[in-house]
Chains A and B, each alone.
Chain A
Amino acid sequence: MSADFSIVLLFFGVTLISVTAGIIGYFNLLQKKSLIGDALAHAVLPGIVLAFLFSGVRESWILLIGAIIAGFLALTAISFLLKHTKLKQDSVIALVMITFFSLGLTVLSYVQLKPLGNQAGLTDFLFGKIAALSQNDLFFFSVLCSIILSAVFVTFKIIFGFAFDSSFMRFKGFSGNTWSFFMNVITIIIVSIGIQAVGVVLMSALLILPVTSAKQLTNNRNKLIIWTVCFALFGASFGTFISLYSSQLPTGPLISMILCTTLFITAVLKRFTLLAKNYG
């Protein structure tokens, strides 16, 4: 397989992950659950490292299973603490995120001491390194992203309806628990995939920044999705390009910096548009 084809595959894979994360971020924002995505990105780390520790191989699907289990444990912990303590939601999310991430880092340090762990490149999960992704990984992730995007496309009306008026949807006979579970599953999957491209620390950038930038430009349902996809595409492709051609720079921070810049520009644009509207 030629080097050019590998690069094209890498671009395709990373942009598809970024677009999928952007779309999931769109729904998280509408459900006012943007911070959950960030918490999950940190919380899946111990799952990934433990999956590697027990299996001894760095196979994407094995690590994904570990990530999904850790993600669900984190969500269960958040629900439990919200129900049985007087802590506020943001405090609970921070508590669970820090606990899981600390555990992940501790286990990661332990694994790094072992010869096999040192070679596995698990630290790539912290900051992301797309060059570490194999073609098999990219193929596997692309299939998963395509399934997630298709599922979201088919169920769009329902997820959107729940985000807007959950009591109406429940009254119409839709199960709130089922659809919440569905959203949690796809968020955990995209987070588990995404951290391999941009890392644990900056995964929330892929989820939150494209849709937040888009929200500065429009409040129309369909235009918001289109702008979210555009920003996700731009951030991922530009960041990947720079990362590939300057091997010293990590992908995650680059994509995040580009997405932060687009958010800054759109926020300033919105401010000036509002000023022009009010005083123009």
Chain B
Amino acid sequence: MDCIEIKNLSVKYDRQIALKSIDLLIKSGQMIAVIGQNGSGKSTLIKAMLGLIPAQFDSIHFYGKSLSEVRSQIAYIPQRETIDWDFPISVYEVVAMGLLSSKKWWARTSKLEKQVILQALTKVGLVAEMNKQIGELSGGQQQRVFLARALVQHADLLIMDEPFSGVDMRSQALIFDVMKSLKSEGKTILIVHHDLATVAANFDEVIVLKNELLAHGETTSVFNSSIIENAFGIPLNRSLK
């Protein structure tokens, strides 16, 4: 089944083209990495498809429907740089945000929802930290909090913007484990990724951007020297260092 279908998506910042005429078709049940240099339009692609920034496009469909119809089926984790880590919010409260719904925003958290939050925190190994202010956690733990927020949404599509930025090895392994477990349940995971060394071992498909779509396909066919050199300006073996 098609998970995401994008036709002719373009984004401009002032007069500068950030993304030009992107066409994408992503199948369900895959782990997909979006790679490219800084400024190549990776985060812009995510934000544009989720309606977070102005964009021009012919159509964007998730599971054959418009975003507003399938919002509850999608979970989104923003870049950590956008978060104020000194904000007075606890780990538990961040995860509880995942259960907020635009249709029932006034409702109190039910007992069942509290259980769902605890289950998600258990899955990412943060139950003991649930009452801590988020700034008290390490970078890896903070990213796991946002993963837990995505988990409570029971979404079919998980979209993450640089989830491994500033993350320790233990957290990286744990996040990959959770993603693989989600994939085994048939979920789709789309990640903006910067660490090329972990692409081949963990992702089924790769999308390569350079303000336009350079390549998209199975990792084994797309993740090769010529495409990477074109995208990053240096050979693949040097990009992996």
Contact = CB atoms under 8 A, between A and B. Distances in A.
Contacts of B82: 165, 167
Given A157-B100, A163-B87, A168 B68 contact: no
Contacts of A170: 51-52
A224 B93 CA distance: 15
B84 interface: yes
B135 A165 contact: no
A165 B133 CA distance: 15
Given A158-B105, A173-B71, A174-B102, A167 B84 contact: no
Q: Per DSSP, are chain A's interface residues mostly helix, strand or loop, or mixed?
A: helix
Nearest to A171: B76
Given A30-B88, A165-B83, A172-B102, A219 B135 contact: yes
Interface in A174-198: 174
A168 B97 contact: yes
A164 B133 CA distance: 13
Contact of B106 (A32, A154, A171, A173): A154
Q: Per DSSP, are chain B's interface residues mostly helix, strand or loop, or mixed?
A: loop
B181 interface: no
Contact of A165 (B47, B71, B78, B105): B78
B100 A172 contact: yes
Nearest to B71: A173
Interface in A138-162: 154-155, 157-158, 160-161
Contacts of B55: none
B30 to A, nearest CB: 21
Given A165-B83, A167-B82, A224 B88 contact: yes
Nearest to B150: A168
Given A158-B105, A219-B135, A168 B71 contact: no
A218 B90 CA distance: 12
- Chain A interface size band reads 20 to 34
B127 interface: no
A219 B76 contact: no
Contacts of B17: none
A165 B50 contact: no
A168 B88 contact: no
A2 interface: no
Contacts of A168: 76, 78, 97
B174 to A, nearest CB: 22
Nearest to A169: B100
A163 B50 CA distance: 20
B89 interface: yes
B48 to A, nearest CB: 12
Contacts of B101: 172-173
17 contacts: A157-B100, A160-B89, A161-B97, A163-B87, A164-B83, A164-B94, A165-B82, A165-B83, A167-B52, A168-B78, A170-B51, A170-B52, A171-B50, A171-B51, A171-B74, A219-B133, A220-B88
The list of the 6 closest CB pairs from A to B, nearest first, reads A173-B102, A219-B88, A221-B88, A171-B76, A219-B133, A167-B78
Given A161-B97, A173-B102, A174-B105, 16 more contacts: A30-B87, A32-B84, A154-B106, A155-B105, A158-B100, A161-B100, A164-B83, A164-B84, A169-B100, A170-B52, A172-B101, A219-B86, A219-B88, A219-B133, A219-B135, A220-B88
